[in-house]
Each structure stands twice: as C-alpha cells, then as structure tokens.
Amino acid sequence: MGKAEKGSAKYIANRIKAKGLQKLRWYCQMCQKQCRDENGFKCHTMSESHQRQLLLFADNASKYIDDFSKEFQDGYMELLKRQYGTKRVNANKVYQDYIGNREHIHMNATQWETLTDFVKWLGREGKCIVDETEKGWFYQRSSPRVKKTRVREKTRAREKTRARDRRRRERARLVKIITKSLGDKFFKRKAVIERVIDKYGAQL
C-alpha cells in the first residue's frame, strides 16, 4: 500500500497523529524512536538498526540504565523545582506534565519500574518529603527550610518519646517499691495504681 497523497484527508490525518503524543509502550529508548502502534513497534524491534542498539546495550547494560535513570531524575526534579517549587503536589500530576514533553526520557528505560517506586526512592534519598493518601502519592521538594523543619519535628518527637519512656520507667520503679511495701495483698487484688503519692504510698 503506497503513501497517502499530499493534501489528502489521509495525509492530513497521518500528520496530526504524528504530531500528537503516542503511547509510551511503543517507544524505543535506545533508538529514540516512537512507533504509532503495536505492529509498527514489532517491525522496529526486528529491524537491523534496533538489533545493533541491543548489542550495544548488552555490552554495558548497567551503564545505560544508570545514565537513563540520571537523565530521568534530573529532568523530573527540574520540572518539580521550576513548576511547583516546594509545594506539596500529587506525583501523578507532575508525571503527566513531565511526559507531556516529547523529548523526555521514558521511565521504562530507568531503574524504576513504576512511578510509585520512583516516588519511594525520592523519599529514601531525602530529595522529597513523600506521603501516601487515598488520592495517591504526594510529595514536596526538600528545600533547606523544609529540611530544617523536618529535623526540628524529628528532634521534638524523639524528645517526647524519651520523656514518655523516662516517666514510664520512673512509674515502674515506684510501683516496684510500692508493691514490695504492700506485699502479697496487692498482687491478689491486681489493682491499677491511679496516682503515686510518694515513695511508699499510692492511690489504687
């Protein structure tokens, strides 16, 4: 079947299709070629040029994956920084904006299989503050101010936990002293101490 004539309806339709975004699964990152459908992608994977690229990839797969991952991360973080600053934003919304650029690095060429994996990785690396809600994953880019706030919150939480543990240990020590002074009667009653009066007395 020949090519559509220039100016015909089919020719115009093909040009419009070529301009728009195509499905990500029919994109070959190694060859940087976008195919329009499954058949086109299948034909591309059997082509000689694609086979040559696969041989190059096979020689040093980890290097290619690391490079693609680095490019993906840099592009993504740049978009997050430029468009959203340090605002808390839905991860999927940012991803949709990112893939809106035809020249982007595709996630299927990186070390992350899904967007969730990538978001969790950003959280682990401390590049973003991430949290999961009913509406999906959200993150906020870490800035020095945000990092300081997080450190302050963690310190406060740690101090609260220590104070609670200290009170619990003190209460346990006092209870031991009280139970020794009360003797077997206390154990038989299995009472709960409401208020510690002093070293040798308590309200049950």
How many separate domains does the chain show?
Answer: 3
Which residues, 6+ apart, have CB-to-CB distance to 113 below 8 Å?
107
Give 39-98 pLDDT, tens digit per residue.
777 777 788 877 777 777 777 778 878 888 888 888 888 888 888 887 888 888 888 888
- Which range of residues forms the domain containing residue 50? 7-59
Q: Are 116 and 97 in contact (CB under 8 A)?
A: no
Q: 105 and 42 in one domain?
A: no
In this prediction, residue 41 carries a pLDDT of: 75
Distances (CA, A) of 118 to 21, 48, 113, 128, 195: 23, 33, 8, 11, 51
Q: 81 and 18 in one domain?
A: no
- Of 20, 40, 59, the position where a domain reaches its end is 59
Compute the Cα dihedral for 188, 192, 194, 199 and give only its sign.
positive
The yes-or-no verdict on residue 188 having pLDDT over 50 is: no
Q: 119 and 92 in one domain?
A: yes
Q: How confident is the model at residue 194 (pLDDT cuts 50, 70, 90)?
A: low
Q: 132 and 72 in one domain?
A: yes
In this prediction, residue 139 carries a pLDDT of: 81
1 part of a folded domain: no
Q: Which two tokens stand for residue 194?
A: 């409401």
CATH number assigned to the domain comprising residue 85: 1.10.10.2030
Give the three-class secondary structure for 28. strand
Q: How far apart are the C-alpha atoms of 147 and 160, rounded to whole Å?
A: 20
Q: Which two tokens stand for residue 174?
A: 């006092």
pTM: 0.53
